[in-house]
Chain A
């Protein structure tokens, strides 16, 4: 209910406007009091959520990569024959040269950290509770970085350190079949 203001009869309609016949006029003080009251009023909102399930085909190349993680604990990349870039995750075609890629390369399970950050805030989509780190890892044999997680020894994490992939016991053909990378 709007606040009652001295001299401002509640029963009369609240209307701004000219001091014409039959109209109720209001003062600037009353407008300010009303404005202050309105500040604390919560407007109506509607809560909603969009839940859309997806089933993404991982692709021919993605399948081979993820199956190698699942079945052999191996990390595969592939090499563009034009620019010789070894990609991981592997790609069906090279974005730079615009040609198909068909040369598979077995990469090492180890690599070097080229960039990292220790995450200290929490939100539901993280695979692990903070603090943990993201790292861009140049795996042995690859020319581009793989982004993944480092969970332990965060105080030893520096650019240039060597890290090794740690695989999960139960693997399903998913990038998180690699549980995380650990400092060697």
Chain B
């Protein structure tokens, strides 16, 4: 694969409700900031990928509404309706295809719509939507299947919430930096068993942007380039009942492909920091297992053993993760942006010292129906 790099990143402050900004404003903000970060101008950007969702925005062809805000007035623009990691994947492919650079920008304002009704809409209308399924209850089925298969416990999940909300205190962009104990999480309001309030990510407003560049354009940017060493995605079956929810096979396939591209054979030793999509606390151990960082069923032990804490050998979600800020579609792109900051040495109080290789991850569809895995490196 040709050498391509991420040379600019930007994120908004994630908030429950950004009351004085439209989603257009958020896209304009991160586009401007990403260009400023990279030290590039609009004429250095060859094409734009926007990431948005019609139901979230309340308008069809939602991408069109933000084209100009994304600097795409006279440029080739395309769109991905899915998590930002998938949008960035398309952006990377365009650079590999010959464009000098692609700006990828994702946005959502969860505060402006009804998230339960919106996520209900992703289910099949004839057989499942009328049951009232939505993102949280579907995820609860996955958490239940996972616990049942391996004996992972709610306490294991609670430790993830404690860790990640605690990590968020070091992230100026995070919405929910919190000092929690396992008892706080275990005693929080039950939503859909085993998921409790403090096991859930919030619903946020926000946007993020990254600029992906060819080797030549990376030289022009003023930042230390973060090289894309491996990237892959994979999807499972659509019908919830068709899938083995305790076995994220599409993540395993995507991670294996990405690691192979990056030449990584011993993930736990060779990856220094992970930013993964923990929409719910149970997802962190489940995704870590499927990525191959530990055996299936062992994900719950990684915090206990001090592997994935800030002081551990491979910190997971130093940013606080999705549990601490969840603008739908944006959150995966935010994982990439955070990984880039880590590899540049620009992560401030949340910096993992000496990080050279990072994994960033995003999901799309209920219970991680599809996954996108990125392997990034500070070294060419």
**B-binding residues in A (CB < 8 A):** 42-43, 48, 50, 54, 56, 58, 62, 87-89, 95, 114-121, 123-127, 134, 136-137, 144-149, 159, 174-176
Contacts and interface: CB of A to CB of B under 8 A. Distances in A.
Interface string B142-183: 111100100000000000000000000000000000000000
Choose among A95, A114, A117 the residue with the greatest number of B CB atoms under 10 Å from its CB.
A117
Contacts of B195: 117
Which label, helix, strand, loop or mixed, suits the secondary structure of the A interface? loop
A120 B117 contact: no
A121 B145 contact: no
B130 A134 contact: no
Nearest to A48: B58
Nearest to B58: A50
Interface residues of B, number: 39
A1 B46 CA distance: 47
B266 interface: no
A134 B58 contact: no
Contact of B126 (A43, A48, A56, A118): A56
A88 B245 CA distance: 17
Contact of B240 (A123, A147, A174, A176): A147
A89 B127 contact: yes
A117 B141 contact: yes
Interface in B295-310: none
Contacts of A176: 130-131
Contacts of B148: 115, 159
A135 to B, nearest CB: 8
Given A42-B19, A125-B116, A119 B127 contact: no
B245 A127 contact: no
A149 B133 CA distance: 10
B116 A146 contact: no
B317 interface: no
A170 B240 CA distance: 27
Given A115-B145, A116-B144, A125-B117, 4 more contacts: A48-B58, A115-B141, A123-B116, A125-B132
Choose among B117, B145, B241 the residue with the greatest number of A CB atoms under 10 Å from its CB.
B241
Contact of A115 (B127, B191, B245): B245
A71 B240 CA distance: 27
Given A117-B141, A117-B192, A121-B192, A134 B131 contact: yes
7 contacts: A116-B144, A117-B192, A123-B134, A125-B116, A134-B141, A159-B145, A175-B127
Contacts of B19: 42-43
A120 B190 contact: yes
B20 interface: yes
Choose among A50, A115, A119, A123 the residue with the greatest number of B CB atoms under 10 Å from its CB.
A115
B237 A95 contact: yes
B140 interface: yes
Contacts of B136: 121
